[in-house]
Chain A
Amino acid sequence: MAASETTVKLERVSKSFGEFTAVRELSLDVRAGRVFGLLGPNGAGKTTTIRMIVNITAPDSGSISLFGRKIDPKLQDRIGYLPEERGLYRRMRIIDQLRFFAELKNVRGKQIDSKIDEWLARVKLSEWKNKRSMELSKGMQQKIQFITSVIHDPDLLILDEPFSGLDPINTELLKEIVLDLKRAGKTIIFSTHQMEVAERICDDICLLNRAQKIFEGSLREIKRSFGRNSVSVRCEGGDGVLDDPALVSKLVRHADEAQALLASGADAQNLLKRLLDTGAVIGKFEMVEPSLNDIFITKVTESA
């Protein structure tokens, strides 16, 4: 698949529940072979958008196409979906559950079992194969749920908050797997409200807020368009300067340094000069890219 191909295309899609509009006039392109971050605060319409892509709910208006075709139930077999609200049958053995989920994706026969063994080994749960899921810890169950979404080798993988509640080691493990799948040419839609996670794994992002798209594009471009208007500063003295709203629009103090977002019209040279003028001792003064979190907050406040 060429990188420019589109796996999922939404055109002016709207969905409302009674009075409440969950998604309004949403258009987006998810390019093949990339990790697409669907970001937004709680209630922005992420889950509704995903449910429409997976064909669980139908849009009120607009059109959705997958792999260049209009969505239909058969295409569901090429999608792997790990919803935010997910679970397993408590009393069913892990092996039986995985077989069942594979059968629901029309994968059957001998190759299922070797696939299951492979995946269990990969998430380090091989010895739990014949246990019931109620005997597993929450983290283990989450890894099994992850397997249910990839067992049928889908071309499109949709992960809704896949790492919530996982410890750092397992988060890293799953993240590696996701990146491997991307390298294998799979398209991944990744939904989260944790910006730090999205920043590390997404190629493209789409920000949603209150049912609408705020912006969409590659992460690189977005950051570039925002410019390097953020400064990381470590200094002694010169406090009054950093608090000047004409220079710094937002200041976040960390343990021993501060993150300053430059006010519009101000420039970094000027800020440095003012600091030196007040006799501050500078330990660090670095132009940094805005974090996705900053972009997000700025954009969301702008749109409100």
Chain B
Amino acid sequence: MKKFLAVVKREYLARVRTKMFIVSTILLPLVMSLFGIVPAVILNIDAGSLVRVAVVDQTGKIYPELQQALATEESDAQDPNDPVGNASRGLTRKGSGNFQLEEVNVTGRSNEEIQAELAQRLRARQLDSYLILPPDFLDRGEAEFFNQNPGDVMSRRILESALERAVRERRLIDAKVDSKTREELFQPIDLQSVKVGATGQERDSGGSFAVVFGIGFVMYLAILMYGQIILGAVIEEKETRIAEILFSSVKPFTLMMGKLVGVSFVALTQLAIWGLAFSAFALYGTGVLAARGLPSHVPSIPLAHYIYFGLFFLLGYFMYATIYALVGSMVTTAQEGGQLAMPIILILVVSFYLFFPVSRSPDSSFAFWVSMIPFSAPVAMLVRIVTQTPPFWQIALSLVIGFSSVLVIMWIASRVYRVGMLMYGKRASIPEAWRWARQA
């Protein structure tokens, strides 16, 4: 036991003291927040100036409505009830304020004359685009939009929706619908998502999806990262030939377990730091938003979820890290280790992508089964817990199945490890490793 603790201590200190640990501890939250912030910032960069649009209204009735519709789109943009909103919607709103409409006087001129003149102005860069609404536009709903930059999909989309609205408005006016009724008809609806949990209701504006995704991602990343660390550590001991000295003092099983447990403490230390950083950031962030008059809240995470996260992380970690230790003892160099570990990474990646179907329907039988299979349980069950907490017996069953499989894998791994660590020269084949495992 003392020897086991000595191994645990060495592994822990040797890892925590590295620059790698310090850098990754600080960097990951930074990178994650960058991934959250940078795209929004970039998409919101207002590179262009006003979009100047000339409108040829051959129906003679749409222009005022179009102007008004565009203005309404603009005012919608400042909707304060939706602080989370996704990036593309944010962009739409941003763009709508940037139109400068100009009505082209059509009287007494032929279609060709007008078009020629507008095309001329477009080339001279006095205009960015022009819109031709034919006389039968109100009936057929077909118009043409000429521009120099077909890549500006956003402007076209905004214009399209404004036009649609304008046409509807015009048709209603023609049908003699009074202005009050029209206003009521266009009253936008607001679909608010309310999560019904065991303890009550909680208003939710999409933030919890981000949290679920974040948790799933951190889980996956931590398992992958710390599995690789175990792989590296085992290969180091084999490559540098320390294993034989160690085996003359400790049992291989003690050494392997000491390593796994020591590194798990490193992982938990790092996750705890991230957890605290996240909580602090969340508190600070809500504070800042509230100060700006933007009501927002970070979805509250119950304490039980932190505990479940810890448990399922340990499950996933011991599952994969033990396999990594097994692989490490079979190979002779880090390169070979990387190759032999590919299938493991593949399984891990697939089980991470199960996140999406599981989070969409956490109560389905598919979600149930993948959260019972030990390889995918850590991410799948955690997603289920956070989205739509399953009955406790399912969580317990998943943990029992998981940790039992971990024990079986550890037993196999320790037997392969015992022999493999002292086999130098060539990489062991899988049948060979299997024979080692069965040897007394």
Is B356 an interface residue, CB under 8 A from the partner? no
Chain B residues numbered 289-337 whose CB sits less than 8 Å from any CB in chain A? none
Task: Report the nearest B residue to A104, measured CB to CB.
Answer: B249
A82 to B246, CA, bound (A): 10
A269 to B2, CA, bound (A): 68
Chain A residues numbered 88-108 whose CB sits less than 8 Å from any CB in chain B? 88-92, 96, 100-101, 103-106, 108
Is A76 an interface residue, CB under 8 A from the partner? yes
Chain A residues numbered 41-80 whose CB sits less than 8 Å from any CB in chain B? 51, 54-56, 73, 76-77, 79
A82 to B244, CA, bound (A): 9
Please, which residues of chain A bring their CB within 8 A of the CB of B239?
A: 87
8 Å CB contact of A92 from B7, B14, B422? B14
How many A-B Cβ pairs are below 8 Å?
68
Q: How far is the CB of A215 from chain B (nearest CB, A)?
A: 28
Is B424 an interface residue, CB under 8 A from the partner? yes
Q: How far is the CB of B253 from chain A (nearest CB, A)?
A: 11
Q: How far is the CB of B84 from chain A (nearest CB, A)?
A: 45
Is A238 an interface residue, CB under 8 A from the partner? no
Known A56-B422, A105-B249; judge A85-B241 contact (CB<8 A).
yes
Task: Report the nearest A residue to B424, measured CB to CB.
Answer: A85
| Interface of chain B, main secondary structure | helix
Please, which residues of chain A bring their CB within 8 A of the CB of B240?
A: 87-90
Q: Which of B3, B7, B236 has the most CB of A within 10 A?
A: B3
8 Å CB contact of A104 from B6, B244, B422, B424? B6
Find out whether the CB atom of B236 lies under 8 angstroms from the CB atom of A54. Answer: no
A73 to B247, CA, bound (A): 10
A86 to B246, CA, bound (A): 10
Please, which residues of chain A bring their CB within 8 A of the CB of B250?
A: 104
A252 to B422, CA, bound (A): 40
Please, which residues of chain B bring their CB within 8 A of the CB of A103?
A: 2-3, 6
Q: How far is the CB of B17 from chain A (nearest CB, A)?
A: 9
Q: How far is the CB of A161 from chain B (nearest CB, A)?
A: 13
Q: How many residues of A contact B (CB 8 A)?
A: 31
Is B110 an interface residue, CB under 8 A from the partner? no
Find out whether the CB atom of A89 lies under 8 angstroms from the CB atom of B251. Answer: no
Is A148 an interface residue, CB under 8 A from the partner? yes
Known A56-B422, A90-B236, A91-B14; judge A101-B248 contact (CB<8 A).
no
8 Å CB contact of A100 from B6, B18, B251? B6
Please, which residues of chain B bring their CB within 8 A of the CB of A100?
A: 6, 10
A211 to B424, CA, bound (A): 20
A302 to B173, CA, bound (A): 118
Contact with B along A259-273 (1 / 0, CB 8 A): 000000000000000
A100 to B237, CA, bound (A): 14
Is B198 an interface residue, CB under 8 A from the partner? no
Find out whether the CB atom of B14 lies under 8 angstroms from the CB atom of A83. Answer: no
Contact with A along B2-24 (1 / 0, CB 8 A): 11001100100110001000000
Contact with B along A3-28 (1 / 0, CB 8 A): 00000000000000010000000000
Is A191 an interface residue, CB under 8 A from the partner? no
Find out whether the CB atom of B245 lies under 8 angstroms from the CB atom of A56. Answer: no
Please, which residues of chain A bring their CB within 8 A of the CB of B30?
A: none
Is A145 an interface residue, CB under 8 A from the partner? yes
Contact with A along B205-241 (1 / 0, CB 8 A): 0000000000000000000000000000000100111
User: Nearest 3 CB-CB pairs, A to B?
Assistant: A87-B240, A104-B249, A87-B241
